[in-house]
């Protein structure tokens, strides 16, 4: 559940500006401010079902954008490479194969930024 919430928050950070203003506001109230569907419905003078449907459409839109653009996936891949590089640099005695791997990581990061 927490992983899913983190994913939604990251997707919102990346793709939120591409959503409608109402979708942005509703997702913010629901996920960041912890408003219930009833509270949001009351605020917008609509039904809980309408709010639920709006949230689902917004989440689907962000997932579709991620499927097409892959920015969240790219971010995660880069973070994994950076963590691996960081771990290698923490070693007291870097070996030749460690330096080779660091060069590969740098090359992978450069390549991923060119996509």
- pLDDT tens-digit readout, 18-72: 999 999 999 999 999 999 999 999 999 999 999 999 999 999 999 999 999 999 9
pTM over 0.75: yes
DSSP of 45-114 = TS-HHHHHHHHHHHHHHHHHHHHHH-HHHHHHHHHHHHHHHHHHHH-SS--HHHHHHHHHHHHHHHHHHH
Residue written as token pair 């994994």: 80
Rounded distance between C-alpha atoms, residue 71 and residue 54, angstroms: 23
Architecture of the domain whose range is 2-69: Orthogonal Bundle (1.10)
Question: Average pLDDT for residues 72-84, to the nearest whole number?
Answer: 92
Mean pLDDT, all residues of the chain: 93
Determine the 3-state secondary structure of 34 from DSSP.
coil
Determine the 3-state secondary structure of 10 from DSSP.
helix
Is pLDDT at 96 greater than 90 in this prediction? no
Rounded distance between C-alpha atoms, residue 86 and residue 53, angstroms: 43
Domain ranges for the chain, please list them: 2-69, 73-114
């Amino acid at each position: 559940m927490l992983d899913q919430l983190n994913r939604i928050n990251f997707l919102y950070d990346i793709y939120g500006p591409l959503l409608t203003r109402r979708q942005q506001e509703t997702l913010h109230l629901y996920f960041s401010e912890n408003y219930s569907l009833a509270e949001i419905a009351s605020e917008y003078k609509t039904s809980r079902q309408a709010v639920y449907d709006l949230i689902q459409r917004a989440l689907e839109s962000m997932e579709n954008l991620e499927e097409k653009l892959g920015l969240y996936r790219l971010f995660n891949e880069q973070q994994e490479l950076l963590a691996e590089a960081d771990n290698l640099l923490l070693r007291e005695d870097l070996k030749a194969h460690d330096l080779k791997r660091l060069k590969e990581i740098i090359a992978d990061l450069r390549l991923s930024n060119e996509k």
